[in-house]
């Protein structure tokens, strides 16, 4: 079961990476079109709206990807100095609170999305629920990732640790023990 959950975790990251990349590339293209059209021609009316919607989606999907990679800010000083048993309890409690918050966010986000389903965007006439639906989707995805962490913790395995750029840069430079003699 843990192997299947790890596979789901990795799959989510592998799907989100290109989606966020394409979203960023599209955002750059739309903003470039907006600037060029304003300077040389008549402004293209829909570019500001598309840029705003892309930014909303990229923000939420990027936050999900950052969580999957352990890149969100975490203050772990107190937790890390606890004895292992208490550390597991505190980590489990934090995961339960996180899951509860994200499930509530998904529920409220879904209700808000349905409330706004009649509203259309001014320029594109796009139903606004297409814009708002990213909130409950990503809240549910992060809740899933947190649930995977909780299951791993209950199974006695480690959970997703905060990523450190410093550690990532230093780690490859540490010589192997075989070469120290």
pLDDT, block means (10 residues), the chain with 181 residues: 90 96 97 93 90 97 95 86 92 96 98 92 92 97 96 88 54 50 44
| Distance from the first to the final alpha carbon of the chain | 42
Decide: residue 58, CB within 10 A, 0-12 exposed, 13-18 middle, 19+ buried: buried
What pLDDT is attached to residue 97? 97
Looking at the DSSP assignment, which residues form a beta bridge with residue 120? Answer: 127
CB atoms within 10 A of CB 72: 13
What pLDDT is attached to residue 51? 96
What pLDDT is attached to residue 181? 44
Rounded distance between C-alpha atoms, residue 127 and residue 108, angstroms = 19
Helix, strand or coil for residue 128? coil
Structure tokens, 107: 């529920």
Decide: residue 139, CB within 10 A, 0-12 exposed, 13-18 middle, 19+ buried: buried
What pLDDT is attached to residue 167? 47
What pLDDT is attached to residue 163? 63
């Amino acid at each position: 079961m843990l192997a299947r959950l790890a596979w789901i975790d990795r799959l989510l990251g592998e799907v989100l990476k290109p989606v966020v990349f394409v979203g960023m590339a599209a955002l750059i293209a739309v903003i470039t079109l907006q600037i060029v059209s304003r300077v040389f021609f008549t402004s293209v009316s829909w570019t500001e709206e598309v840029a705003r919607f892309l930014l909303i989606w990229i923000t939420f999907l990027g936050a999900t990807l950052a969580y999957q990679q352990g890149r969100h800010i975490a203050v772990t000083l107190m937790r890390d100095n606890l004895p292992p048993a208490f550390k597991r309890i505190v980590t489990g409690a934090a995961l339960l609170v996180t899951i509860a918050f994200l499930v509530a966010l998904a529920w409220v986000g879904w209700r808000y999305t349905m409330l706004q389903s009649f509203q259309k965007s001014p320029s594109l006439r796009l139903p606004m629920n297409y814009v708002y639906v990213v909130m409950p989707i990503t809240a549910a995805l992060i809740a899933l990732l947190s649930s995977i962490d909780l299951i791993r913790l209950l199974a006695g395995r480690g959970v997703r640790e905060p990523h450190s750029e410093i550690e990532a840069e230093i780690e490859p430079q540490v010589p192997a023990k075989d070469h120290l003699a």
